Structure 1
Amino acid sequence: MPLPRVSRRDLSYFFFSQHFSDGLRTTLAILLPAVLGAQWGQFAAGITLSTGAVCLSVTDTPGPLQHRRNGLLAALALVFIGALLVGWLAPYRLALGLLLVSLSFGLTMLLVWGARAGAVGSATLLGMVLTLAHPPEGWQANAVHAGLLGLGGLWYLLLAMVQSSVQPYRSAQQALGECLHAVAGFLHIKATFYNASTDLADDYRRLVAQQVTVNEKQEAVRDLIFRSRQIVSETTSTGRRLVLTFTETVDLYEHITAGYYDYGALRAAFGSTGVLGEIQGFINRLAVDLDYLGSAILANRAYGSPPPDRLPELTQLQARINALPTPDPGTGLSTLVLKKILVNLRDLHRRVRSIRRYFDEGQAAALAPDPRRVAGHTQFVARQELEWSTLGENLTLSSSVFRHAVRMAVACSVAFTVAELLWHGQHNYWILMTVTFMLKPGFSLTRERNIQRISGTLVGGVMGSLVLWAVPNGDVRFGLLLVFMVIAYSFQRTKYLVTVIFLTAYLLIMFSFLGLSYLGVIEERLTDTALGCAIALATAYLLFPRWEGEQLPDLLAATLRANLAYLRQLADRLAGREVLPTTYRLLRKDVYVASANLAAAFQRMLSEPRRTRRRPSEVHEFVVLNHILSANISALTTTWQDEATPNPAVPPEARRVLTSAQAALSKSLARLAAAPAPDTAAPAASATVALMQDVRVDAQADTTNPDRTLAEQLAFLQKVSTDLSRVTEALAA
């Protein structure tokens, strides 16, 4: 299989990304204390300082500066206390085991306050486990060890805070650039729908998967911009441009999503003319333009030249469409649908070019965001309050966090027992460390991580051994160690397999500098990793397993509620009632988030044991129909928003059709609420091809075709809502 082609733009996205800068910072924070300690004859102290930096790096996930600082401070205190407790109880193995088991439960329960709090618990567990490598003897040695661990963590905290203070906008710029990159990828996938050689079912699967990615990127930018007062309240042009460009990016994504057509009918009617290939080519070029803009924002550099003017291409495409003969009446389409596509392409081109204003310093004064709009956008950011009552409310088996904490405590107790009684390796604490990082709340992610950990350890062991065998020069080895560290810490939040490969390789090189036999280290690491992964996987499978199929009813209901509210705002517009822009954007965001959560859970479900999957064919059909419904609601709403004329008058019978669509969604919600516990033992057979044929049949009343009346467009919304109700009935049966 040929390797994927890596373009210059791909390299730019990597080397200027937040992940790479985090990798550089983490490498510096870990390596510098050890190197200085070796130079000053205090290598053991330097290693302990580096260990403290490693622990705090686990907590330093992307986000607003104040949230990162609070998380790092909490981790610093807990890592210090945890190390003290482990050092104190190290001679008393039974008491130590009880401490580890109880704290593994308590620290995992921190997840009730969000992912960052959960990372604080993981950092504390890591510090405790690493203390087991060489537990200090005596109170004084214990206090010194815990103090050095805390100093190492403090060194990492100061380094992270200084970097953020010197470059206050870099995180937001990097997140915005990556968001544009994800939207460009979404646009590339939309282009494939015009290619008659692609499978529509596969196109929809990739589109839904990319929708999950776009939602994650948008949430990351929202979190960074609208939680940072320095960005939304100051008067510098950089903050203004970040806010405005992000809002324009969200609007652009909505217009891309709203561009839904009956692609099966389009292919049948115009596939032989070649015009669909020209449309696909234009959309791909537009996506490349957007990608270049994202790359420039990510790299914080000036855009060298104005983006290409695609208007001549649109003019040529218009002439090409005008010259087409009328298609066969049996297709139900005319060239008017192509002209509608052309109008949408002009709109997308205009919006992509408007993002170019980010680079125009001269427009800084004109780009000042409306304070009311900024204040409205703060409503888009979810708040996580640290209330003690939340912890108590989750101390029940109905809580997924509680069940995960119980699994973690049981797995840690088994790992500690195995390390104490059955396996006496020099680094047998690796078993416990593997368990704490491999066991995840969901079985699918635990399984995926375990596979990546074992395969990555094997590949990394071979790579490290080859380096040690083929490179005798110590300076060259140290240079490779630096490279491997940067790569490992750059991919730790995106590609875990890459992290494990290079982490294993650099650990082998590091142990060789300590005089250890790398073959012995490889053997022990593979054994410990296999034992830890087996314990984690068995615990996730046997003890209160959290199957994605069990979570589907709640996610399906959340998606239906979001679309029902989205449909109601459309009904309000048709009735002449005002819908505030902020209200509309909040409803739109709810639809995107709910749809992305459902799609992500569906993808995870497919990686679980077959007997636990719940009707995958029907869930896939629901996901596709949900996308079609929200796209068509957006298409109608954005059309009226962009026009200066008031909303068109709608006859009562058309409004009754919309009321019927709302009733269908409400009925679906009621079915899910009354549904019995899901039976996951007999999943439905896959029927993807038939599903897509049904969707194409359902979509014959193409909502964006301009030769359809508004009443017919609303009737199509009713048809899709009814189909959703039908699929929901099958899922709830």
Structure 2
Amino acid sequence: MKALRGFPPAPVPLAAAARGAVALAVPLLVGVWTATPVPAVIAGIGALWGVSQDGPDPYPLRARRLGCMGLWAALGLLAGELALRSGHPAAVTVCLVVVALLAGAVSLRGRLASVSGMHFLLGATIGGGIPVPGPWWQAPLALLAGVGLVVVLSAAPWLWRRHAVERSAVLAVYRAASAALAAAGTPAAEDARRQLTAALDHAHQAMGPHLARRARARTEPDALRVAFHGAVRLGEVTSALVWEGRPLPRCVTDMPLLMAARLLPRPGGATGSAGTDRVVRAPDRAVPRTAPDSPGLRALAELSAETVRERPDEVPARLPAFPWHGRAAQVRYTVLLAVCVLVAQLCAELLHGPRGYWLPMTVAFVYKPDFGPVFRRALHRCAGTVVGVAALGAVTLLTTDTYVLIGAVAAFGALMAVGVRHHYALATTGLTAIVLVLVQMLGDHRALFAARILDTALAAAIVLVAHFVLWPRSAAERAAEQTEAALAAARRYRDLAPGTAAAQRHALRRTAYHRLAEARRAVAHARGEPGRSDRRPADWEDAIASAERMCDAVSARNLEAGPAGSAHPVPRCAAAGAVGG
């Protein structure tokens, strides 16, 4: 939900904001018009959780993630609802602890499992805390209907623009390469090259399904696959030129954009793309007649002049995933999550009696070490809750009209969709206000504003005490493990034998840079936690930066040793459109 340090901020996701507003308003409007507020509110909760997981992934991946999340949330809701209906005083508490154990057991096994486990626990907290009249199957179906609405809104564009996300991801690599070349020889060069690595990682993830299976020739997936392999090779050349450390003329820095215009035509057959037509049409006569000669420039000229053709697979279909922690750490997290949920539920029963779901629900949201620093997440949760309560309080002071409140839910839904991509406190602001309106529509008119702020602070305190007293070095341990794995991958790339096949070279290079980027994120995570470690984050960052520079040097060495350097002349710069001499 936030960019890495030194990366430009992502644009405001207007389409996601519109989807969030529609997805949350529609169920409530239907509930008002049909006089069925309870199923409508449960559907609104499903839409709320769906909006929180609506990402910029390719459409099939979005549908898969939302579908898995919805099924696990409905299962948790059913478990909590049955425990509540049993009438046994301890049934809900036992149910929440058991669900927390199951959720924790799967939460650190990957992104999809983590999302599913968290919403399994969230569903149980809602089912065990909000009595729902009617048959037992009605609430889970209503929840699935809300999630299904988000799936339709998010993935429906697949019907008419199936590969737009993949195309944008690959195109972003060429743009990042152009920016990195423009930064060569300046203090911003290393940050620009890291942005290129991030763009390649994102494109690799988006293109994974197309790399795993052979696409038919002359289809859009086939063209995207060829363009992606060109982007991988361009990444190697760009790293070498950045390592050379010389400023490059405009005709060289625009070459990736020219390649993108040729390899990624606009849908419908038009050539060029945003940011590339200017390069093709506007000659740049202010640059020198010839560019400095180097192996990197010759490799760039060869890559740019190359005829577009089908290439053999040069990288694995999936980037190697590094597990969050070993088995012992996963067991520790599972037990700590269950203990936090148990303590939160006992506090809720003492403070609020039956509808004290807010405390365990907040624990489920906050205690997600794989989603970012727990300490920062807890602070942002508290801040967002305060702002959300204040914002909705201002609305209710003006009016309590149902349609106005539904309009407020739509606005806060849009705000939450933006916050999911930019800042957790912003997302929490929207979520808090929405949940308060949903609870009011269920007929709960208690004075909950101050109670929700105190409950959030108490739940955050429970998580922080348990985590930093019993597992204070979790983030530092992961950073150390990630850094060692990344350095090992960099050494494997460094020790590559001369003359190794291009496929193996590119696979090792992609793995090394990807692992180094992951290690840098893990170190940033550890820096955001107050726990102590034997090594300072600055030591890890220095080691990662040195390994990145070493990989850049290895890329330059590989290009210098390759036979392609003498095959094409260095590009001439009489015009920006002149490539290959």
TM-score by length of 1: 0.64
Superposition pairs of residues 313-324 of structure 1, within 5 angstroms: 313=284, 316-318=286-288
Q: Which residue pairs with 2:466 in the alignment?
A: 539
Distance across 1 between alignment mates of 2:261 and 2:443: 48
- Helix, strand or coil for the counterpart of 1:597? helix
Alpha-carbon contact 1:59-1:123 (below 8 Å) kept: no
Match of 1:156 among 147, 157, 167: 147
Residue 27 of structure 1 and its aligned partner are, at CA, apart by: 4.5
Task: Confirm whether residue 36 of structure 1 aligns to residue 7 of structure 2.
Answer: no
Q: Which residue pairs with 2:328 in the alignment?
A: 399
- Helix, strand or coil for the counterpart of 1:86? helix
Residue 562 of structure 1 and its aligned partner are, at CA, apart by: 1.9
Alpha-carbon contact 2:487-2:516 (below 8 Å) kept: no
Q: Which residue pairs with 1:652 in the alignment?
A: none
Alpha-carbon contact 1:55-1:127 (below 8 Å) kept: no
Residue 614 of structure 1 and its aligned partner are, at CA, apart by: 1.0
Match of 1:307 among 278, 281, 284: 278
Distance across 2 between alignment mates of 1:26 and 1:443: 21
Distance across 2 between alignment mates of 1:169 and 1:591: 37
Q: Which residue pairs with 2:45 in the alignment?
A: 51
Cα 1:165–1:34 shift into 2, 3 Å = closer
Residue 256 of structure 1 and its aligned partner are, at CA, apart by: 1.9
Superposition pairs of residues 379-390 of structure 1, within 5 angstroms: 379-381=316-318
Distance across 2 between alignment mates of 1:514 and 1:194: 62
Task: Confirm whether residue 419 of structure 1 aligns to residue 413 of structure 2.
Answer: no
Distance across 2 between alignment mates of 1:214 and 1:150: 39
Higher relative contact order (CA 8 A, sep 6+): 2
Residue 550 of structure 1 and its aligned partner are, at CA, apart by: 2.2
Superposition pairs of residues 579-598 of structure 1, within 5 angstroms: 579-598=500-519
Distance across 1 between alignment mates of 2:332 and 2:51: 27
Q: Output the amino acid matched with 2:126.
A: L
For structure 1, the 5+ residue unaligned runs are 1-8, 267-275, 323-337, 355-365, 385-389, 574-578, 647-733
CA deviation map 1:350-370 (0-9, x unaligned): 97899xxxxxxxxxxx96745
Q: Which residue pairs with 1:339 in the alignment?
A: 292
Residue 592 of structure 1 and its aligned partner are, at CA, apart by: 1.3
Q: Which stretch of the first structure deviates more once superposed, 611-620 or 502-511? A: 502-511
Task: Confirm whether residue 226 of structure 1 aligns to residue 211 of structure 2.
Answer: yes
CA deviation map 1:539-595 (0-9, x unaligned): 2212234433323443343233322322333x332xxxxx33322221111111221
Superposition pairs of residues 231-270 of structure 1, within 5 angstroms: 232-234=214-216, 237-261=219-243
Distance across 1 between alignment mates of 2:256 and 2:401: 47
Q: Which residue pairs with 1:614 in the alignment?
A: 535
Q: Which has the larger radius of gyration?
A: 1
Alpha-carbon contact 1:442-1:546 (below 8 Å) kept: no
Distance across 2 between alignment mates of 1:479 and 1:351: 53
Over aligned residues, Cα RMSD in angstroms?
A: 4.5
Alpha-carbon contact 1:419-1:428 (below 8 Å) kept: yes
Residue 75 of structure 1 and its aligned partner are, at CA, apart by: 4.5
Residue 136 of structure 1 and its aligned partner are, at CA, apart by: 4.0
Residue 294 of structure 1 and its aligned partner are, at CA, apart by: 12
Distance across 1 between alignment mates of 2:115 and 2:485: 27
Cα 1:552–1:216 shift into 2, 3 Å = same
Q: Output the amino acid matched with 1:108.
A: G
Task: Confirm whether residue 83 of structure 1 aligns to residue 77 of structure 2.
Answer: yes
Q: Which stretch of the first structure deviates more once superposed, 119-128 or 109-118? A: 109-118
Q: Which residue pairs with 1:437 in the alignment?
A: 365
Superposition pairs of residues 690-705 of structure 1, within 5 angstroms: none
Q: Which residue pairs with 1:214 in the alignment?
A: 199
Match of 2:114 among 103, 112, 118: 118
Distance across 1 between alignment mates of 2:492 and 2:30: 60
Distance across 1 between alignment mates of 2:302 and 2:402: 57
Distance across 2 between alignment mates of 1:295 and 1:28: 33
Alpha-carbon contact 2:28-2:40 (below 8 Å) kept: yes
Superposition pairs of residues 129-528 of structure 1, within 5 angstroms: 129-136=125-132, 141=134, 144-154=135-145, 156-157=147-148, 160=151, 164=155, 167=158, 170=161, 172-178=163-169, 180-181=171-172, 184=175, 188=179, 191=182, 194-195=185-186, 200=187, 204=190, 206=191, 210=195, 213-214=198-199, 216-227=201-212, 232-234=214-216, 237-261=219-243, 279=248, 303=273, 306-309=277-280, 312-313=283-284, 316-318=286-288, 339-340=292-293, 369-370=310-311, 373=312, 377=315, 379-381=316-318, 398-421=327-350, 423-424=351-352, 428-441=356-369, 445-469=373-397, 478-507=406-435, 520-528=447-455
Alpha-carbon contact 1:80-1:149 (below 8 Å) kept: yes
Distance across 2 between alignment mates of 1:425 and 1:187: 60
For structure 2, the 5+ residue unaligned runs are 1-7, 568-581
Cα 1:521–1:543 shift into 2, 3 Å = same
Cα 1:155–1:470 shift into 2, 3 Å = closer
Distance across 1 between alignment mates of 2:183 and 2:467: 39
Q: Output the amino acid matched with 2:452.
A: R
Q: Output the amino acid matched with 1:226.
A: L
Superposition pairs of residues 681-696 of structure 1, within 5 angstroms: none
Task: Confirm whether residue 128 of structure 1 aligns to residue 124 of structure 2.
Answer: yes
Alpha-carbon contact 1:51-1:152 (below 8 Å) kept: yes
Residue 615 of structure 1 and its aligned partner are, at CA, apart by: 3.6
Identity, % of aligned positions: 19
- In the alignment of these two chains, the number of paired residues is 555
Cα 1:219–1:27 shift into 2, 3 Å = farther
Q: Which stretch of the first structure deviates more once superposed, 525-534 or 302-311? A: 302-311
Distance across 2 between alignment mates of 1:511 and 1:81: 21
Match of 2:489 among 554, 557, 562: 562
Match of 1:603 among 519, 524, 536: 524
- Helix, strand or coil for the counterpart of 1:104? helix
Residue 30 of structure 1 and its aligned partner are, at CA, apart by: 3.9
Alpha-carbon contact 1:176-1:221 (below 8 Å) kept: no
Distance across 2 between alignment mates of 1:466 and 1:495: 23
Q: Which residue pairs with 2:498 in the alignment?
A: 572
Distance across 1 between alignment mates of 2:425 and 2:100: 25
Distance across 2 between alignment mates of 1:501 and 1:515: 22
- Helix, strand or coil for the counterpart of 2:279? coil
Match of 2:101 among 98, 105, 117: 105
Distance across 1 between alignment mates of 2:356 and 2:263: 46
- Helix, strand or coil for the counterpart of 1:492? helix
Distance across 1 between alignment mates of 2:211 and 2:430: 36
Residue 515 of structure 1 and its aligned partner are, at CA, apart by: 7.8
Residue 104 of structure 1 and its aligned partner are, at CA, apart by: 0.6
Cα 1:112–1:538 shift into 2, 3 Å = closer
Cα 1:368–1:28 shift into 2, 3 Å = farther
Q: Which residue pairs with 2:92 in the alignment?
A: 96
